[in-house]
């Protein structure tokens, strides 16, 4: 097993070492479907082709009605489905609020420390590997239980949290919401070499750059986006607390709501909740910061309404995160049966570009009072008609636009598919070279063995001749990583 760093464990294993792929994937032994265990957890072996070589376990309370929600809960390194079921508290709320739970389980055949491979594009992207196996589990369980397909959620701890973020990005059409506990932003790392940088340090990306990692995971998807809860301990030495901030930046940018909290409140266990509301005033993103908590899942043993779980390795006594996550998703209430949102505008078209502007038009939506125009995930206009000209843009640059209709009450409907407008004029110059040669050419600098782009300070990985990146000079002396974008 190749080890890149001796530091830290991601819920039970040295992350960069524990996340190393073993040579080849073993095939799970075929098992007959056993009777449910004493705690009601049951293995399912016939859920699909299982390209990611995972095991599926499920729990459903007695008398589960049709159209109930479904929660997917993903363990951390060295843990198991039964371990997560026993400690996390999800069984309590499945019984109380009425929903089924699916627990994917990986093994040492996939990863030497039984971590989900959140850093490997062959495993964590749409239609591939472990991510595809999880979605097959969702399809199987949804058919089995008659699940409400609009109320499917996913949560995970640590490496399971990293995979959760990737699933939300790759399958926003499957998951209505997610919760990332002590995890990593979606597509933070796309190789083992980059994993430790995500785990321990600031990646120096803008919210828009983080948001692009989500949008690029399912190109052309127009929404709606999952509602995301983020849990992070301030004393976590395994997954640096900056990951919570980066996750907040990523998903608020995807939602186009900005990074200023709509509200904050103090919760038990030294927890501060910051919420970021959508255009209807409903929280789209919530960041739960737990003061003094190390690496693990927050639980709070006891009989109280807002208590759950049991302590253990990486299950830490602070607050019942499963309770507040379930409340954030609305699992404690009946689904909203109000009027449906307006449909996405059709026919979004780029009608013209200049060096500094782009003009758009689209078809009218019946019942719309106005429209919201988004450039690269950020709202830039609210015309009452069906055309808009965006100004103040850079020359020779590609911009991505979507449009949503807004009804007279201010409720925003689904966003359209994206179109790309490329302004005229000279495009920024691009340079492809090794990290070492970028530094010697004055386009980047190095510190602590890592390379950073001048201007943007984006982490480019190790300072050597083995790592190659493309840098784009967007203004004199200001470089951004542009691999595949030049």
Residues designated catalytic: 158
Displacement of CA 456 from its chain's centroid (Å)? 23
| CA contacts within 13 A on the Cβ side of 216 | 14
| Element housing 447 (H / E) | strand 444-447
Q: Is 59 exposed, middle or buried (0-12, 13-18, 19+ CB in 10 A)?
A: buried
| Residue that is written with structure tokens 């990306």 in the block | 205
Question: Of 38, 52, 28, 129, whose CA–CA distance to 86 is shortest?
Answer: 38
Three-state SS string across 149-183, please?
CCCEEEEEECHHHHHHHHHHHHCCCCCCEEEEECC
Residues 6+ apart with CB under 8 A from 247: 165, 180, 183, 184, 185, 228, 230, 232, 287
Report the distance separating Cα 266 and Cα 251, nearest Å. Answer: 22
Between the two ends of the chain, the Cα-to-Cα distance in Å is: 35
**Quick check: 450 and 465 in contact, CB under 8 A?**
no
Coil vs helix vs strand at 474: strand
CB 375 within 8 A of CB 391: no
């Amino acid at each position: 097993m190749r080890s890149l760093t001796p530091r830290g464990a991601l819920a039970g294993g040295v992350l960069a070492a524990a996340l190393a792929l073993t040579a080849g994937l073993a095939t799970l032994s075929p098992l007959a479907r056993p009777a449910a265990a004493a705690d009601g957890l049951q293995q399912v072996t016939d859920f699909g082709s299982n390209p990611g070589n995972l095991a599926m376990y499920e729990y459903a309370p007695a008398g589960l009605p049709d159209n109930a929600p479904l929660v997917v809960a993903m363990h951390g390194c060295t843990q198991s489905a039964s371990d997560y079921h026993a400690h996390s508290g999800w069984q309590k709320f499945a019984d109380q609020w009425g929903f089924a739970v699916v627990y994917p389980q990986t093994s040492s055949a996939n990863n030497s420390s039984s971590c989900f491979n959140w850093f490997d594009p062959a495993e964590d992207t749409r239609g591939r590997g472990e991510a595809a196996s999880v979605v097959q589990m969702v399809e199987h369980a949804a058919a089995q239980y008659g699940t409400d397909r609009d109320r499917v959620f996913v949560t995970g701890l640590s490496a399971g949290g990293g995979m959760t973020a990737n699933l939300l990005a790759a399958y926003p059409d499957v998951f209505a919401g997610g919760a990332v506990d002590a995890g990593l932003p979606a597509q933070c790392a796309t190789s083992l070499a980059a994993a430790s940088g995500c785990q321990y340090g600031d990646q120096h990306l803008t919210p828009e750059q983080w948001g692009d990692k989500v949008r690029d995971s399912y190109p052309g998807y127009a929404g709606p986006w999952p509602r995301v809860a983020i849990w992070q301990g301030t004393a976590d030495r395994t997954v640096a607390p900056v990951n919570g901030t980066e996750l907040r930046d990523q998903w608020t940018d995807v939602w186009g709501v900005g990074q200023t909290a709509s509200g904050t409140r103090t919760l038990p266990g030294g927890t501060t909740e910051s919420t970021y509301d959508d255009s209807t005033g409903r929280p789209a993103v919530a960041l739960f910061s737990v003061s003094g908590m190390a690496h693990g899942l927050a639980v709070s043993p006891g009989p109280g309404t807002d208590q759950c779980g049991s302590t253990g390795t990486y299950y830490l006594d602070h607050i019942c995160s499963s309770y507040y996550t379930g409340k954030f998703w609305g699992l404690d209430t009946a689904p909203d049966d109000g009027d449906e949102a307006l449909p996405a505008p059709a026919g979004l078209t780029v009608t013209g570009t200049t060096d500094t502007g782009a003009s758009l038009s689209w078809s009218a939506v019946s019942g719309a009072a106005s429209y919201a125009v988004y450039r690269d995930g950020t709202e830039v206009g609210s015309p009452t008609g069906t055309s808009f000209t965006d100004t103040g843009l850079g020359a020779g640059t590609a911009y991505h636009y979507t449009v949503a209709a807004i009804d007279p009450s201010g409720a925003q409907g689904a966003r359209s598919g994206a179109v790309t407008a490329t302004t005229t004029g000279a495009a920024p110059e691009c340079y492809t070279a090794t990290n070492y040669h970028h530094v010697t050419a004055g386009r980047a600098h190095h510190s602590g063995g890592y390379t950073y782009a001048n201007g943007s300070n984006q982490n480019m990985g190790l300072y050597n001749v083995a790592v190659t990146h493309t840098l784009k000079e967007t203004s004199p002396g200001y470089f951004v990583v542009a691999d595949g974008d030049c």
